[in-house]
């Protein structure tokens, strides 16, 4: 599907969860190597239904922020974390995500309880620029709108203002643990951030205007995403899209 600026190391990356470490096998197509650092046991499990990748089992994997699924890039496929952990050398079922523009984008995070998907669409693969899709399972539209968000009806795209770069990894964007907030790219709650952090339901940008120290804003932003404190408790506010965009 989409291969962009990825290092060889990331292309065969490993995901860690508690004492478990797992990655796609480089040689055995459609299988996962699973290692338990506590017991020292290492096994290989076949992925049932694997057919989407032509190479030898390659693909980048990423654990969703809610610790339920393991996304496989490129494409819309995933594995359940519990299926990986509970596998004893058998088969792990390969599952699919269905959402708005799922045929041209790559999911980078999912909140399974809220049935919410964050995905990216490459606008210029050579320069590594993207736009985001925020959709519900089976959704037929983009929940958010504005700069940095995919709009198929928009003809005059200003790539400098309407796209963002993901650097060396497409998995920088995250959904908060409670599914209330989304960061299409970096987790950045500063007033001038782009695309920034957004309240999904209210469709407004999250900022902390009373805090001038970048490290304090960063810490509060992380607390918000972990769900340890509410936006009110952290002293944050929601900024409407029209005000935020007009200020840029």
Whether 206 is covered by a domain: the verdict is no
Rounded to an integer, the average pLDDT of 168-196 is 90
pTM: 0.87
Whether 168 is covered by a domain: the verdict is no
The domain in which residue 88 lies consists of 1-96
Whether 43 is covered by a domain: the verdict is yes
Beta bridge mates, 133: 119
Q: What is the pLDDT of residues 96-109, one digit of tens each?
A: 999 999 999 999 99
Whether 88 is covered by a domain: the verdict is yes
| Beta strand pairing call for 42-48 and 91-93 | parallel
The pLDDT of residue 241 is 64
State yes or no: pLDDT of 5 exceeds 70. no
Whether 126 is covered by a domain: the verdict is no
- Name the band, by pLDDT with cuts 50, 70 and 90, for residue 128: confident
Q: What is the pLDDT of residues 72-119, one digit of tens each?
A: 987 899 999 999 999 988 999 999 999 999 999 999 999 999 999 999
Q: What is the pLDDT of residues 149-167, one digit of tens each?
A: 998 888 778 888 889 988 6
The pLDDT of residue 62 is 93
- In total, the chain counts a number of residues equal to 248
Whether 174 is covered by a domain: the verdict is no
Whether 61 is covered by a domain: the verdict is yes
Q: What is the pLDDT of residues 37-47, one digit of tens each?
A: 999 999 999 99
Whether 194 is covered by a domain: the verdict is no
Q: What's the token pair of residue 73? A: 């890039």
Task: Say how many domains are in the chain.
Answer: 1
């Amino acid at each position: 599907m989409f291969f962009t600026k990825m290092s060889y190391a990331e292309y065969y990356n490993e995901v860690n969860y508690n004492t478990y470490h797992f990655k796609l096998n480089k040689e055995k197509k459609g299988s996962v190597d699973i290692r338990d650092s506590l017991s020292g046991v290492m096994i290989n499990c076949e992925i049932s239904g694997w057919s989407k990748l032509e190479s030898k089992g390659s693909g980048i994997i990423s654990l969703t922020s809610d610790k339920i699924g393991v996304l496989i890039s490129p494409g819309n496929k995933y594995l359940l974390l519990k299926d990986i952990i509970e596998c004893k050398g058998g088969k792990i079922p390969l599952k699919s995500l269905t959402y708005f523009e799922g045929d041209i984008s790559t999911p980078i995070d999912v909140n399974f309880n809220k049935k919410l998907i964050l995905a990216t669409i490459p606008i210029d693969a050579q320069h590594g620029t993207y736009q985001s899709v925020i959709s519900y399972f089976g959704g037929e539209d983009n929940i958010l709108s504005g700069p940095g968000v995919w709009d198929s009806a928009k003809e005059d795209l200003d790539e400098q203002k309407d796209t963002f770069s993901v650097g060396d990894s497409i998995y920088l964007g995250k959904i908060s643990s409670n599914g209330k907030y989304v960061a299409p790219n970096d987790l950045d709650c500063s007033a001038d951030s782009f695309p920034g952090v957004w309240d999904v339901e209210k469709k407004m940008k999250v900022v902390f205007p009373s805090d001038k120290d970048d490290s304090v804003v960063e810490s509060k932003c992380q607390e918000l995403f972990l769900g340890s404190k509410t936006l009110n408790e952290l002293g944050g506010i929601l900024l409407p899209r029209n005000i935020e965009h007009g200020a840029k």
